[in-house]
């Protein structure tokens, strides 16, 4: 077993574990916003680690396309999280009792009162 195999193995297993914890969080967290953290984000790290793990075992010219996969995952995941999160908040799917602080609710309340 060479060092490349070892490195690749560590990357693949850590990446898979990261995805697994994401799945566990998806089941255990209490509301949409928290589940969103588990659903979208550990997958980013998991995917990137799996891509690195695979890339070191491939030839350079075959591996280079994987850069795009990682890049677009890193670019799109935050946008997705923001859109779904905002929709969930507006639909009232973020459970208030799990929040310690909610400045956005204060703000909306203030503006509603000013509107009246």
Partner 1 sequence: MAEHAIPPRNSRPGGEHVVSAGHPLRRLVRRIPLLAWLVLVWLLLWGTYDLGTTLFGVLVGVLVTGFFPAPPIVTDIRLRPWGIVRLVMRLAWDLVVSTARVSWHAVAQGPRARAAIVEVRLVTDSDHLMAMVANAVSLAPGNFVLQLDRANRICYVYALGCGRDASERVRREVLAWERSVVRAVGTAEQLRLVERTHRGVEVD
The rounded distance, in Å, linking the Cα atoms of 70 and 72 is 6
Which positions from 60 through 79 interact with partner 1, judged by CB under 8 A? 61-62, 64-65, 67-68, 74-75, 77-79
For position 100 contacting partner 1 by CB under 8 A, the verdict is yes
The rounded distance, in Å, linking the Cα atoms of 57 and 38 is 29
The rounded distance, in Å, linking the Cα atoms of 71 and 65 is 10
Burial environment of residue 89 by CB neighbours within 10 A (0 to 12, 13 to 18, 19 or more): middle
**Which C-beta is closer to partner 1: that of 8 or that of 49?**
49
Q: Compute how many residues bind partner 1; rule: CB under 8 A.
A: 46
Q: Among residues 8, 12, 44, 55, which is the contact residue for partner 1, using CB under 8 A?
A: 44
**Which C-beta is closer to partner 1: that of 1 or that of 115?**
115
For position 93 contacting partner 1 by CB under 8 A, the verdict is no
For position 16 contacting partner 1 by CB under 8 A, the verdict is no
Q: Residue 66: in which H helix or E strand, if any?
A: helix 60-90
């Amino acid at each position: 077993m060479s060092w490349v195999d070892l490195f690749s193995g560590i990357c693949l297993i850590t990446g898979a574990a990261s995805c697994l914890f994401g799945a566990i969080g998806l089941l255990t967290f209490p509301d949409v916003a928290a589940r969103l953290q588990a659903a979208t984000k550990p997958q980013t790290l998991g995917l990137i680690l799996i891509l690195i793990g695979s890339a070191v075992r491939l030839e350079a010219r075959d591996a280079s396309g994987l850069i795009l996969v990682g890049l677009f995952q890193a670019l799109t995941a935050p946008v997705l999280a923001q859109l779904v999160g905002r929709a969930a908040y507006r639909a009232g799917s973020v459970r208030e009792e799990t929040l310690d602080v909610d400045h956005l609710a204060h703000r909306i309340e203030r503006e509603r009162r000013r509107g009246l």
